[in-house]
Amino acid sequence: MEVCYQLPVLPLDRPVPKHVLSRRGAISFSSSSSLFGAPDPRQLSQRRGAISYDSSDQTALYIRMLGDVRVRSRVGFETERRGSHPYLSIDFRILHSQPESAGPVSARKIRRLLSFQRYLHSSRVCRGVTPQNPLHFLDHDYTGQAKCMLEKVGSWNFDIFIFDRLTNGNSLINLTFHLFNHYGLIELFQLDMVKLRRFLVMVQEDYHRQNPYHNAVHAADVTQAMYCYLQEPKLSKSLTSCDILLGLLAAATHDLDHPGVNQPFLIKTNHYLAALYQNTSVLENHHWRSAVGLLRESRLFSHLPAEDGLNMERQLGSLILATDISRQNEYLSKFREHLDKEDLLLGNAGHRHFILQMALKCADICNPCRPWELSKQWSEKVTEEFFHQGDIEKKHKLEVSPLCDSQTNSVGKIQIDFMTYVVEPLFAEWARFSDTRLSQTMLGYLGLNKAGWSGMLQEQAGAAEETDLGAPSPTPSSAEETDSKVLPQGSKES
Ligand SMILES: [Zn+2]
């Protein structure tokens, strides 16, 4: 086991400021809360993209982060209204009216309260309610087909949506476990299979099923893309097992407990986490801390020397923080500079770590580089999530965030800009670094998909013009036909 860390120390264990602990508000997001005005607590579990303010949850997370047993015995679960945005207070109050969050909680129970989603899950189990979507138990036919798919897990055409259905919604667990096995990481790092399985179940459960885009399927998709990049000759020749372990872990956890809204939304609603992370990489910091919490709770690395475990957590943070899209230019300029100077030495642990950061960034935004059938689904999902945020902002008379207004944006418009200004520049540099068939394939799909969306927009504009001139307006079915006609060609090729 090579120790491969030469990185700046990140402030993982910085003390939580006093004012933060004393204000005891929220820490974790929840898809099941009622931030956006559910009048009936029974509807909570159906709400999408909301943020929870459960003080017990917050306490659990802090305990998890601090690793301080003394704190655990002192903290209570009294409700405390925070002086932030009015909706947040409403949400907080409703959450505390739930019987599960009332009364004293044992230390054992606290350990289970890692996220509000799992809290609900475990309380259902305690009450004898059978989970609707049992993990692990699959129809044999589906298991067989899922296994079959895993034989081609390195294919760029891998259809994660089908794989998710075949695994009964457990794509992230199954895919990540398979890849750990494939690389022999379980033996190499002497991982306990039960702990690993438990860790992966917790990771998957902490993603919000209700988010149209930022859910466990996206995490599984990013993990699959990451695997494709790890297999690229330059990386596979130089990466250590430790790099591979971290790369896969970071991909699987990089959006953990994502609330389905973006950072500006959290800032303008005075979200507690925005204050905690000083409005900087708020979500990414939260994903990282959540991942660390699950690692510690599952004790997956508890057999490793403490220093190695801490180093793993720091590196995981450095990888996850690199996915902050607002820091794209910073990473891209550094990448470009290295490529211009041709000074990347993959024998150097710091350089390998940088390449892992770039690979994870690519994996995170590779949707437009996938075949059209897959790419289009992702585009629609992400737009649905944006527009949902915009609807909430309108409903509560907040300024509508860019890209979130369904009146002034469309899937195609958003995609074309995203491809032009974010995806193309990144993948062009990646192709310079790793000039392979995969890189060319990705750039090829990117061009085709962009042309596909442009074609659709032009047709829509043409149709609108005709309507203005008095021609009959297209029926919904003819508009759909238009959609399928402008599919990029050659999108079957791998
Ligand atoms: Zn992501």
Return the axis-axis angle of helices 437-468 and 411-418, rounded to nearest 10°.
140
pLDDT, tens digit, for every residue of 256-284? Answer: 999 999 999 999 999 999 999 999 999 99
pLDDT, tens digit, for every residue of 437-466? Answer: 999 999 999 999 999 999 999 998 888 888
For 54-116, give the secondary structure using H, E and C: CHHHHHHHHHHHHCCHHHHHHCCCCCCCCCCCHHHHHHHHHHHCCHHHCCCCCHHHHHHCCCH
Percentage above 70 pLDDT, the chain? 66
Q: Quick one: pLDDT at residue 97?
A: 30
Q: Residue 220 Cα, ligand 1 centroid: separation in angstroms?
A: 10
* pLDDT exceeds 70 at position 472: no
**For the whole model, what pTM was predicted?**
0.73
Annotated binding site for AMP: 214-218, 255, 364, 415
Tell me the CATH number for domain 153-453. Answer: 1.10.1300.10
* pLDDT exceeds 60 at position 8: no
Q: Quick one: pLDDT at residue 29?
A: 56
Q: What is the largest CA-CA distance in the chain?
A: 75
Q: Residue 464 Cα, ligand 1 centroid: separation in angstroms?
A: 35
User: Rounded CA gap, 67 and 76, in Å?
Assistant: 17
Interior angle at CA 469, CA 464 and CA 475, nearest 5: 45
Q: Residue 327 Cα, ligand 1 centroid: separation in angstroms?
A: 14
Q: What is the pLDDT averaged over residues 186-213? A: 97
Q: Quick one: pLDDT at residue 365?
A: 98
Q: Where are the domains of the chain?
A: 18-94, 153-453
Residues contacting residue 270 through CB under 8 Å, at least 6 positions apart: 84, 85, 88
Per the model's pLDDT, the better-predicted residue between 401 and 46 turns out to be 401
CA distances from 99 to 88, 107, 457, 481 (A): 19, 18, 51, 51
Per the model's pLDDT, the better-predicted residue between 77 and 442 turns out to be 442
Q: Quick one: pLDDT at residue 488?
A: 37
Per the model's pLDDT, the better-predicted residue between 3 and 369 turns out to be 369
Mean of pLDDT over the chain: 77
* pLDDT exceeds 60 at position 416: yes
Q: Quick one: pLDDT at residue 470?
A: 62
Q: Residue 325 Cα, ligand 1 centroid: separation in angstroms?
A: 10
Q: What is the pLDDT averaged over residues 45-69? A: 34
Q: Residue 218 Cα, ligand 1 centroid: separation in angstroms?
A: 7
Q: Residue 229 Cα, ligand 1 centroid: separation in angstroms?
A: 16
Q: How confident is the model at residue 10 (pLDDT cuts 50, 70, 90)?
A: very low
Q: Quick one: pLDDT at residue 249?
A: 98
User: Rounded CA gap, 395 and 428, in Å?
Assistant: 40
| CB burial readout 369-391, b (16+ within 10 A) else e | bbbbebbbebbebbbbbbbbbbb
Of the listed 214, 271, 287, 388, which one is catalytic? 214
Annotated binding site for Zn(2+): 218, 254-255, 364
Q: What is the pLDDT averaged over residues 310-314? A: 97
Percentage above 90 pLDDT, the chain? 64
Q: Quick one: pLDDT at residue 344?
A: 97
pLDDT, tens digit, for every residue of 370-398? Answer: 999 999 999 999 999 999 999 999 999 99
Q: State yes or no: is 214 an active-site residue.
A: yes
* pLDDT exceeds 70 at position 330: yes
Q: Residue 39 Cα, ligand 1 centroid: separation in angstroms?
A: 31
Per the model's pLDDT, the better-predicted residue between 372 and 133 turns out to be 372
Q: Residue 254 Cα, ligand 1 centroid: separation in angstroms?
A: 6
* pLDDT exceeds 80 at position 408: yes
